[in-house]
Amino acid sequence: MDRVCSFPDCIKSAVATLGGCKYCVAHFVSTCYKCLEKTSDRANEAAQKERRNLLVEIVDTVTSLSQGSDEFTNQERGQLMDILLWACDSLAERT
């Protein structure tokens, strides 16, 4: 894969895309955590919908990443699994 992470100054290969940007594993993980930690504005319906779409994208991306990939360390796998559970939890809260 010749695509490179779109994080500034990062030269690692991208393994996933999120919100139209390409990320290496480490930056994908940190970007996901940042999204998950952001508290949603319950008064703002558009923002809630946007957050929901992003959570769905995170779940889809993490699910496809964890399938058939041997290139991750145990720590990375743990982080991806944590993100997946957290995103699913956040989605469930909103319904």
Judged by the rule CB under 5 A, the positions of this chain that interact with Zn ion are: 5, 7, 10, 12, 24, 27
Nearer to Zn ion, 12 or 94 (CB): 12
Nearer to Zn ion, 28 or 90 (CB): 28
> How far is the C-alpha of 23 from the C-alpha of 53, rounded, in Å?
18
Q: Where are the alpha helices (DSSP H) in the chain?
A: 25-37, 45-66, 74-93
State in angstroms the smallest separation of the CB of 4 from Zn ion: 8
State in angstroms the smallest separation of the CB of 80 from Zn ion: 15
Nearer to Zn ion, 10 or 21 (CB): 10
Which residue has tokens 């360390």?
73
Question: What is the residue type of 15?
Answer: V
State in angstroms the smallest separation of the CB of 1 from Zn ion: 13
Distance from chain centroid for Cα 72 = 15
Structure tokens at 2: 């010749």
